[in-house]
Amino acid sequence: MSAELSEATDPTGVLPVFVDEVAATPAPRVSTAATLEADRVSAWFGQRKVLDRVSLDIPAGRVTALIGPSGCGKSTFLRILNRMHELVPSAQLAGEVRLDGQDIYDPERRLTDARKAIGMVFQKPNPFPAMSIADNVLAGLKITGTKIARPDREALIEESLTRAGLWNEVKDRLKQPGSALSGGQQQRLCIARSLAVRPRVLLMDEPCSALDPTSTRVVEETIGEIAADVTIVIVTHNMQQAQRVSDQCAFFLAAQGTPGVIVEHGPTDVVFENPQDQRTSDYVNGRFG
C-alpha cells in the first residue's frame, strides 16, 4: 500500500489498514440500501458531554437531513454512524448504532466492514492530490483490500463516475490529477470514490457548503439519483437544501452548556410546515441559528 493511503492522509471515511487482498469483481448494481438505528446515543469528548441519549431511525433508500445550529452535535452524530468518533483519543460513547439490526460497535464486527458499508463524504472536497481521477475512484478498494480485474476496474470507474454525475465531464481525462478538477467536480469525484466500494449508507457532512450554486445543484441532483440505492444522511445548514433533498429531517439543538439532543424529527414537509415544537418553528423560519 502506498504512502498516499496512510492513516494520516486517508479522506475516504474507510479505515486505512493493511488487510489481505481478496479477489472480487464488481457485482451487478442492485439496491442494497440499509436501515440505520441510533438507540440512546450519548457522546463525550473527555469530560464534556456533546450528545445526550439521541435516538433516530433512518429508513433505507431515503435521504435524512440533520439540521440545527452550529455546535449542537450534528457532525459528531454523523461520525458516530460510521465509527469515526472513536478515532478521537478522548472520545467516549454510550448507546447503540444498528445497521439492519446489527450493532456496528459490536466487538466482533470488523471496523473495516462497518466503514465499507457506511461511507463518508466530507465538507471540503478532498481527492488524493497525487492520484489520477481514475485512481481516486478506486482508492477505497485499495484501502479495503479488494482486488478486481482491469476490465472490471474500468467498468466500475465509469459506473461510479456516472452515478456521481461526473462521467461525461471527465471521461476523456481520467489520467489527469483529481486535484485539477473544479471544486464541484472534486466533490462529485469524492462521491464517486465512496460509491465505488458499494456502500449501503452514505454520510454527507455539509457536502455543498464550499460549492457555488451551480455545483450545489448538480450535487443535489446526484443525491436524488442515488438515494434509491444508498441510504443517505446529510448534515446541512441550508434550510432550502434540506427541503429540496430530504425525505425526513431531525432537528438538533443544544442549550448553552448542555449536550445536543433531537428536539423533533419526522417527514421533511411536516417539520418545516407543521412543526410540533416552537423551537423547531423558530429555527426553520430563520428566527435563530
CA distances from 86 to 21, 101, 223, 286 (A): 25, 21, 27, 34
Local confidence band at 30 (pLDDT 50, 70, 90 cut-offs):
low
Whether residue 78 lies inside any domain: the answer is yes
Query: According to the model, what pLDDT value does residue 6 have?
Result: 36
The Cα 289–Cα 285 span in angstroms is: 10
Rounded Cα distance, 236 and 259, in Å: 19
Give percent of the chain with pLDDT exceeding 90. 70
What the block records as the C-alpha cell of 129 is 492530490
Encode pLDDT of 50-97 as tens digits. 999 999 999 999 999 999 999 999 999 999 999 988 888 899 999 999
Cβ-count burial 49-59 (b if 16+ within 10 Å, e if not): bbbbebebebe
pLDDT at site 13: 55
CATH code assigned at 88 = 3.40.50.300
**Res. 289 pLDDT band, cuts 50 70 90:** low
Please tell me the distance from the alpha carbon of residue 176 to that of residue 231, in angstroms, as a whole number. Answer: 31
DSSP 243-269: HHH-SEEEEEE--TTS-BEEEEEEEHH
pLDDT tens across 216-260, in order?
Answer: 999 999 999 999 899 999 999 999 999 999 999 999 999 888 999
The whole domain housing 207 covers: 3-284
Compute the C-alpha angle 203/272/236, nearest 5°. 30
pLDDT, mean over the chain: 87
The pLDDT value recorded for residue 32 is 84
* 1-10, 20-29, 116-125, 272-281, range with the lowest pLDDT: 1-10
- Helix ranges, 46-149 (H): 74-80, 111-117, 133-143
Residue 90 covered by a domain:
yes
Which cell is 20 given?
Answer: 489481505
pLDDT at 28 over 60: no
Question: What's the rounded mean pLDDT across residues 128-155?
Answer: 86
pLDDT given at position 9: 41
pLDDT above 70 as % of the chain? 88
What local confidence, expressed as pLDDT, does residue 17 receive? 36
- The SS3 of residue 93 is strand
- Classify strands 48-58 and 36-45 as parallel, antiparallel or unpaired: antiparallel
From CA 258, how far away is CA 26, in angstroms rounded?
46
The grid cell for 218 is 448538480
Does residue 289 sit within a domain? no
Q: What's the total number of domains in the chain?
A: 1
Average pLDDT estimate for 118-135? 92
User: Is there a contact between 19 and 32 (Cβ–Cβ < 8 Å)?
Assistant: no
Q: pTM here?
A: 0.86
Condensed to tens digits (0 to 9), the pLDDT of residues 236-246 reads 999 999 999 99
Calpha distance 141→137 (Å, rounded): 9
| DSSP assignment string, 124-140 | S----TTSBHHHHHHHH
pLDDT of 22: 37
- Would you say residue 194 has pLDDT above 70? yes
**Cα(187)–Cα(195) distance, rounded to whole angstroms?**
12
pLDDT score at 12: 52
**CA-CA distance, 138 to 141, in Å (whole number)?**
5
User: Where is average pLDDT lowest: 33-37, 99-103, 201-205, 208-212?
Assistant: 208-212
Q: Region 38-53: what's the mean pLDDT?
A: 95
Residues ≥6 apart with Cβ < 8 Å to 174: 132, 133, 134, 157
- 49-58 pLDDT per residue, tens: 999 999 999 9
Q: How far is CA 137 from the centre of its chain?
A: 16
